[in-house]
Chain A
Amino acid sequence: DAGVIQSPRHEVTEMGQEVTLRCKPISGHDYLFWYRQTMMRGLELLIYFNNNVPIDDSGMPEDRFSAKMPNASFSTLKIQPSEPRDSAVYFCASSSDRAYEQYFGPGTRLTVT
């Protein structure tokens, strides 16, 4: 398996623009997680899905953030409108229901100017 795939790897956008981050989990994994990593707050969970259903979105910072998982092999994290404080590395991870280890993708480095 190719592992968790994320795109784009880097995104530079202007404040106010819509940003969409994409993730393909490992085939057969039932859980998908979106994390944000910043210097100030470290690695924090934004939302996670089980069998394509959002289970906990309490980490989503505000209404500008939304996430979807239309099928078992694809998820998006959308920020609309983006702000400079959204600049961070966004990781997607997946795991199976037989083990707790989470497998992380390479991350998307987002810069909002």
Chain B
Amino acid sequence: ILNVEQSPQSLHVQEGDSTNFTCSFPSSNFYALHWYRWETAKSPEALFVMTLNGDEKKKGRISATLNTKEGYSYLYIKGSQPEDSATYLCARGGNKLTFGTGTQLKVEL
């Protein structure tokens, strides 16, 4: 992995479904992995910053895990709600961030 890659590119789920998406990144010279939530017509909002292999972070119905050895992070949303609809970005780095292209989530009623 040379760049930060996210999958899937987009996702449509029904209200109440649980979902997850993946961020893959170069595992060498790892510093930190960030998750941001970006709603349409707004600006990115920080969700989590993780630095240690095996880190797990949780904020309400959203949680994330980190594997620095194999270079991936998962973001989970439990019981999706329409207000969760947004683009979820991951980024690798401390201060100098390299962003993935995001996973666009649409939660339908």
Q: A residues near B, CB below 8 A?
A: 31, 33, 42-45, 48, 50, 55-56, 91, 95, 99-107
* Cβ-defined contact, B95 with A101, below 8 A: no
Q: B residues near A, CB below 8 A?
A: 32, 34, 42-46, 49, 89, 94-102
State how many angstroms separate the Cβ of A89 from the closest Cβ of chain B.
9
Indicate whether A101 sits within 8 Å of B99 (C-beta atoms), given known contacts A106-B43, A107-B43. Answer: no
Indicate whether A100 sits within 8 Å of B34 (C-beta atoms), given known contacts A42-B102, A43-B89, A48-B95. Answer: yes
State how many angstroms separate the Cβ of B75 from the closest Cβ of chain A.
16
- Within 8 Å by CB of A48, from B42, B96, B99, B102, lies B96
- Within 8 Å by CB of B46, from A50, A102, A106, lies A102
| Bound complex: CA A33 to CA B96 (Å) | 9
- Within 8 Å by CB of A43, from B32, B42, B44, lies B44
Which residues of B sit under 8 angstroms from A42, Cβ to Cβ?
Answer: 99-102
> Can you give 7 A-B contacts (C-beta < 8 A)?
A42-B101, A42-B102, A48-B96, A55-B95, A101-B49, A106-B42, A107-B43
Which residues of A sit under 8 angstroms from B94, Cβ to Cβ?
Answer: 100
Query: Among B49, B94, B100, which residue has the most Cβ atoms of chain A within 10 A?
Result: B49
Indicate whether A44 sits within 8 Å of B99 (C-beta atoms), given known contacts A100-B32, A100-B34, A100-B94. Answer: yes
- Within 8 Å by CB of B95, from A31, A104, A106, lies A31
Which residues of B sit under 8 angstroms from A55, Cβ to Cβ?
Answer: 95
| Bound complex: CA A13 to CA B106 (Å) | 34
Closest to B102 in A: A42
Which residues of A sit under 8 angstroms from B42, Cβ to Cβ?
Answer: 106
Which residues of A sit under 8 angstroms from B98, Cβ to Cβ?
Answer: 45
State how many angstroms separate the Cβ of B48 from the closest Cβ of chain A.
9
Closest to B46 in A: A101
Closest to A56 in B: B96
| Bound complex: CA A43 to CA B38 (Å) | 11
Which residues of B sit under 8 angstroms from A33, Cβ to Cβ?
Answer: 95, 97
State how many angstroms separate the Cβ of A24 from the closest Cβ of chain B.
14
| Bound complex: CA A33 to CA B3 (Å) | 20
